[in-house]
């Protein structure tokens, strides 16, 4: 992506912050895209520029509906997003789609990277699609995606959809980024309680049994009943939101009007809850970012990493009490500073 940009525009690497800022807030897609490339860069000088740019953009952020969509491979996420996305843009709203894909470390982005996916949607003037940043840890991807989302908001997008594959930790990460989390499941509950196993149902705001078309409609109906009782058993939310369980088809579009209606209902009637959630999320990223940064800094001290490995081993084997091991490790910091 970066290589591409620099070929197209020889100025791309200079990153004129003022120009990027003005471009973003006037909704210029090329500059938004370049700004995201800047945010994703690991070069120290780029990070300083990215931070300055974000600072300027902050007053213009927060206005999009942040929606997370997750589901196992094969659940039909892209067809679903293609269909739902079209309904959103036909409603004259601008839609940004970002991906969080931890496997992108290896595959350089298996979701949203494929140009054949969401073909129609990707050509639409009101849609901006960005694949998962590559070569990052999940924490790194989350940070970049959060910052990209803020830039998209500054560029005036009404909706930000963050897509992730349902493989475990990434859904939890997305949950910390969005206002509303949609879980896609397949018809058929039976032995394999998809999602429930991983506690994913507990973080969903809407559960959709997708591919409820053709001869799957009856099975899908049963699956809806099954998850409805599971949700009924589990949830007692502070914000009084009752998690709907519905069937739909990303292929035929059946039930998608209800999805839009549910989103409208939530975003219009639960703004206090959304505001609270966003505050918690910001504080969460601040706290967890601080913990990570302190650890990174600590482990950059000579000898700490080796000492840590030895102690972790001793602790696991029960030879050293965990808290004494902490005290011993912390001695490295005191020694360094004295």
Which residues contact its own copies by CB under 8 A?
A: 51, 54-55, 58-59, 61-62, 143, 146-147, 150, 193, 196-197, 199, 202, 230, 233-234, 236, 278-279, 282-286, 289-291, 293-295, 297-298, 311-312, 315-316, 318-327, 329-330, 333, 337
Structure tokens at 226: 């099954």
Residue with Cβ nearer its own copies (83 or 146): 146
Minimum separation from the CB atom of position 38 to its own copies (A): 14
Report in angstroms how near the CB of residue 145 gets to its own copies at its nearest: 11
* Closest listed residue to residue 226, CA positions, set 181, 260, 199, 194: 194
DSSP state of 58: G
Angle (nearest 5°) at CA 102 between 256 and 237:
50
How far apart are CB 164 and its own copies at their closest, in Å?
A: 19
d(CA 289, CA 221): 42
Kindly state the smallest distance separating residue 80's Cβ from its own copies, in Å.
26
N- to C-terminal Cα separation, the chain? 47
Cα torsion angle, 238, 203, 155, 262, sign: negative
Contact 207, 235 (CB under 8 A): no
Measured from the CB atom, is 122 or 332 closer to its own copies? 332
Give every CB contact of residue 72 below 8 A, 6+ residues apart in sequence.
Answer: 165, 166, 167, 186, 194
> Is the CB of 143 or the CB of 247 nearer to its own copies?
143
Q: Which is nearer to its own copies, 81 or 155 (CB)?
A: 155
Six token digits for residue 33: 């895209």
Whole-number minimum distance, CB 317 to its own copies, in Å?
8
Give the helix ranges, DSSP H, for 103-255: 104-107, 119-123, 138-154, 169-175, 217-234
CB of 44 to its own copies, least distance (A): 11
Q: What distance in Å separates the CA atoms of residue 68 and residue 175, rounded to the nearest whole number?
A: 7
Report the 10 Å Cβ neighbour count for 289: 14
**What are phi and psi for residue 19, nearest 5 degrees?**
-65, -45
Is the Cβ of residue 1 or residue 315 nearer to its own copies in the bound state? 315
- 39 close to 133: Cβ distance less than 8 angstroms: no
Biggest CA pair distance of the chain:
73
> Closer CB to its own copies, residue 261 or residue 286?
286
**Closest separation between CB of residue 6 and its own copies, Å?**
25
C-beta closer to its own copies: residue 259 or 311? 311
**Minimal distance in Å, beta carbon 57 to its own copies?**
9
Q: Indicate the residue among 121 and 151 with the shorter CB distance to its own copies.
A: 151
- Between CA 24 and CA 37 the distance in angstroms is 13
């Amino acid at each position: 992506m970066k290589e591409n940009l620099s070929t197209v525009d020889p100025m791309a690497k200079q990153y004129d912050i003022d120009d990027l800022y003005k471009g973003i807030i006037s909704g210029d897609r090329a500059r938004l895209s370049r700004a995201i490339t800047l945010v994703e860069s690991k070069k120290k000088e780029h990070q300083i520029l990215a931070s300055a740019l974000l600072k300027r953009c902050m007053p213009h952020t927060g206005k999009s509906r942040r929606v997370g969509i997750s589901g196992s491979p094969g659940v039909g996420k892209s067809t679903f997003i293609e269909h739902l996305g079209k309904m959103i843009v036909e409603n004259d709203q601008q839609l940004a789609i970002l991906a969080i894909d931890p496997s992108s470390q290896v595959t350089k982005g298996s979701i949203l990277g494929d140009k054949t996916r969401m073909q129609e949607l990707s050509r639409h003037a009101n849609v901006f699609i960005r694949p998962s940043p590559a070569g990052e840890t999940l924490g790194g991807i989350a940070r970049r995606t959060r910052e990209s989302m803020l830039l998209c908001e500054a560029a005036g997008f009404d909706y930000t959809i963050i897509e992730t594959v349902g493989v475990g930790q990434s859904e939890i990460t997305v949950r910390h980024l969005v206002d509303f989390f949609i879980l896609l499941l397949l018809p058929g509950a039976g032995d394999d309680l998809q999602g429930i196993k991983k506690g994913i149902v507990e973080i969903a705001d809407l559960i959709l049994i997708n591919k409820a078309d053709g001869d799957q409609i009856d099975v899908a109906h049963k699956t809806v009943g099954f998850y409805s009782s599971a949700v009924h058993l589990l949830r007692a939310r502070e914000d009084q939101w009752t998690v709907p369980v519905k069937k739909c088809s990303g292929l035929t579009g059946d039930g998608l009007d209800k999805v839009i209606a549910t989103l409208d209902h939530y975003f219009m009637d639960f703004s206090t809850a959304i505001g609270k959630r966003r505050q918690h999320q910001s504080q969460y990223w601040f706290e967890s970012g601080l913990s990570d940064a302190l650890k990174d800094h600590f482990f950059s001290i000579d000898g700490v990493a080796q000492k840590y490995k030895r102690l972790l081993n001793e602790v696991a084997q029960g030879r050293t009490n965990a808290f004494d091991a902490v005290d011993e490790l912390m001695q490295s910091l005191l020694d360094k500073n004295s």
